[in-house]
Structure 1
């Protein structure tokens, strides 16, 4: 079994990538875990502290090879509002329930939860089922090695 010794940020430019792991939002935040790539490569991740793996990033193995990281498609709700003020109020209600959310200009994405859908529709939101990678905001106490977080918005594609 191979061992990951480092994680590389999105669009790191290194090669070759010998296999790829596709991970959901909550699976990309890890410290110790056995991962299995699409081609069957087993990789043990055992970092000193918890890391968040970037979409289009990679795990560097102890032999110098790379395993690419891809964000999985996930069933989500896309929440749209009447205007910016309404979207802010909806974001407050979502945050008040400690629900992970991806905040974008004009929409909010959350994992599907019928109770939250009913609440949001009751508040006047338009809620649609979508499937795409999920990049929720991390909490105020989350530590990440990439500074201001703008890389997440720029490196999703």
Structure 2
């Protein structure tokens, strides 16, 4: 089976609609959400080719296939992250500036700044006394590195 379009996201469906379908999952590393062409296996061992026509990236919960009985969706493996919880605007500005200078991709979720684990960033957070935790957490989107130079 070749998937060329994403049907919807699992969050768009009513609970009753999902309960009457058998759900298979394709587990991806968050970095693989950026790949438009890839071969994957579901948790039931079914092989699927993904060749997206649009430039849209995959996100957790994307439905790749659905019929009356079955549904195949994308799920994401946990990432080793730092969940940063600045206590003030000054702390947020300080850490955002420091991480921006390193061109480190970040995501924001429920008052937290999420970055992939890096021992140097952890040392910086300790030094600046900015509250954080190290966690294994599923993120909905890939951490996107943006190319840039100070040329």
Q: Which of the five TM-score ranges fits, normalised by the shorter chain?
A: 0.7 to 0.9
Partner of 2:84: 79
Runs (4+) of structure 1 exceeding 3 A deviation are: 14-18, 135-141
Tell me, which stretches of 5 or more residues in structure 2 are unaligned? none
In structure 1, C-alpha distance between the alignment counterparts of 2:40 and 2:79, rounded to whole Å: 19
8 Å contact from structure 2 (residues 4, 53) kept in 1: no
CA-based RMSD of the aligned residues comes to: 2.8
User: TM-score scaled by structure 2?
Assistant: 0.74
Partner of 2:40: 35
Q: Single out whichever of 32-41 and 5-14 deviates more from structure 2.
A: 5-14
Question: Is 1:8 the equivalent of 2:11?
Answer: no
Higher share in strand: 1
Residue by residue over 1:73-126, the C-alpha shift from the partner in whole angstroms, topping out at 9 and shown as x without a partner, is: 222111122312311321222122121212235321111110111122222212
Task: Tell me how many residue pairs correspond in the alignment.
Answer: 138
Higher share in helix: 2
In structure 1, C-alpha distance between the alignment counterparts of 2:104 and 2:146, rounded to whole Å: 14
Secondary structure of 2:139's match?
A: coil
> In terms of Rg, which structure is larger?
2
In structure 1, C-alpha distance between the alignment counterparts of 2:144 and 2:125, rounded to whole Å: 22
Secondary structure of 2:100's match?
A: helix
Please, which of 43, 57, 62 is the counterpart of residue 62 of structure 2? 57
Tell me, which stretches of 5 or more residues in structure 1 are unaligned? 142-157
8 Å contact from structure 1 (residues 24, 134) kept in 2: no
Please, which of 86, 99, 106 is the counterpart of residue 101 of structure 1? 106
Residue by residue over 1:118-152, the C-alpha shift from the partner in whole angstroms, topping out at 9 and shown as x without a partner, is: 122222212321121124675789xxxxxxxxxxx
Secondary structure of 1:48's match?
A: coil
In structure 2, C-alpha distance between the alignment counterparts of 1:17 and 1:52, rounded to whole Å: 25
User: TM-score scaled by structure 1?
Assistant: 0.72
